[in-house]
Amino acid sequence: MLRAILIAIGVFFSGMMLYSFGASTYAYLTDPAAPTAEEEFHLHPKEVHFSFNGPLGHYDRQQLQRGFQVFKEVCSACHSLKFVAFRDLEQLGYSEAEVKAIAKQWTIKAPDVDPKTGEPSTRDPVPADHFPKPFANNVAAAAANNNAIPPDLSLMAKARHDGPAYIHSLLTGFQSQEGFKNAKGKELLKEFPDSKTPEGLHFNPYFANLNLAMAPPLSAEGQVSYSDGTKATVDQMATDVSAFLMWTAEPKLESRKSTGMAVLFFLLIATGLAYLSYRNIWADKKH
């Protein structure tokens, strides 16, 4: 008797689950959810060529140095690189003396307090230090950035789909919302009149919800003076800093690719040897 009751209860709950699944599927097919402005007008990243693309790609050290310069002079005012140490910059081609000089351009707040003033003491960074945060805490960061906390950029190129292309597209994608159309020719404000960008935010179709607190950081040609003489257009600066942030997210990319190619070569040789061994062993065997 008890077994029959348990079976009935199981059948009842199984039936309810099947009914719920069927009802939900039917509702989705007959009455799909209305598209949102984000779904209709969010753009995928542009196609951008980087030297590290592809299985044989590698970093352009000169470009990485330019990208670091853009980060230092523009991005570091709000964003941090907490997983990158100053000594890591030697991988970009800087000498030990240059790394020490770069580190001294930042200031690190020491954990102790100056006994004379009561203020937190500071010290010059050493190459072993990581890049310090531009704000003391999240409260200070939000207060200085329209209640938005600038994210750390160390791993941003790996945290977003098509990371370097996404960063480049975002940096160059700020535009007026007026008259903006999607690939189907639909105009944003005509299709979604209530989607006007709130005051204090900035329209960017490459951002997930189309509006973000960050103002266009790269706004004019020549904003950075490259030491190698490269013309600092907005597109060039965006490309360079995107490449630099790819390096911060995956500094071992080149060694990973070279190891992968060596492994593939080894597997090809091993496969050929295995096949030849098979033919040799079974050559005089009759089927």
- Please state, in angstroms and rounded to a whole number, the distance separating the CA atoms of residues 242 and 3: 65
Rama region for 271: left / alpha / beta (φ>0; ψ in -120 to 50; rest): alpha
> What are the φ and ψ backbone dihedral angles of 121, each rounded to 5 degrees?
-80, 160
> Angle, to 10 degrees, between the axis of helix 234-249 and the axis of helix 163-172?
150
- Please state, in angstroms and rounded to a whole number, the distance separating the CA atoms of residues 68 and 62: 10
Rama region for 117: left / alpha / beta (φ>0; ψ in -120 to 50; rest): alpha
- Please state, in angstroms and rounded to a whole number, the distance separating the CA atoms of residues 131 and 134: 9
Q: Is 49 annotated to bind ligand? A: no
Query: β-strands 211-212, 202-203: how paired?
Result: antiparallel
Q: Is 75 annotated to bind ligand? A: yes
Tell me the binding residues: 75, 78-79, 214
Tell me the binding residues for heme c: 75, 78-79, 214
